[in-house]
Amino acid sequence: MFRRHGSKPTLALWMLVALADIAILVAAVGFVTVLLTAAGAMIVAGAAAGVWQLQRRTGSQALRRRA
């Protein structure tokens, strides 16, 4: 009995590997450093998403005004 490539157990295994990598990183550099890095990444991602949403909104409004 063989599982096809990309099955859920394979994905779950890779998620566990990713979790272990994060745990090793936290142990190596310290919890506060990882926390500050994650917070900074979330702020940058939120700002990028906000800019993207604003660009989408102004673009669709400009098309409606022309019609």
In the prediction, which pLDDT does 48 show?
Answer: 96
Q: Give Cβ neighbours of residue 39 (< 8 Å, ≥ 6 apart).
A: none
CA–centroid distance for 10 within its chain: 20
Q: Examine residue 17 and state whether it is found in any structural domain, yes or no.
A: yes
Q: Examine residue 1 and state whether it is found in any structural domain, yes or no.
A: no
pLDDT one-digit tens code per residue, 37-50: 999 999 999 999 99
pTM greater than 0.75: no
Count of domains forming the chain: 1
In the prediction, which pLDDT does 57 show?
Answer: 76
Distance CA 39, CA 48 (A): 14
Domain coverage including residue 23: 8-66
Q: Examine residue 51 and state whether it is found in any structural domain, yes or no.
A: yes
pLDDT one-digit tens code per residue, 6-59: 566 788 899 999 999 999 999 999 999 999 999 999 999 999 999 999 998 776
Q: Examine residue 2 and state whether it is found in any structural domain, yes or no.
A: no
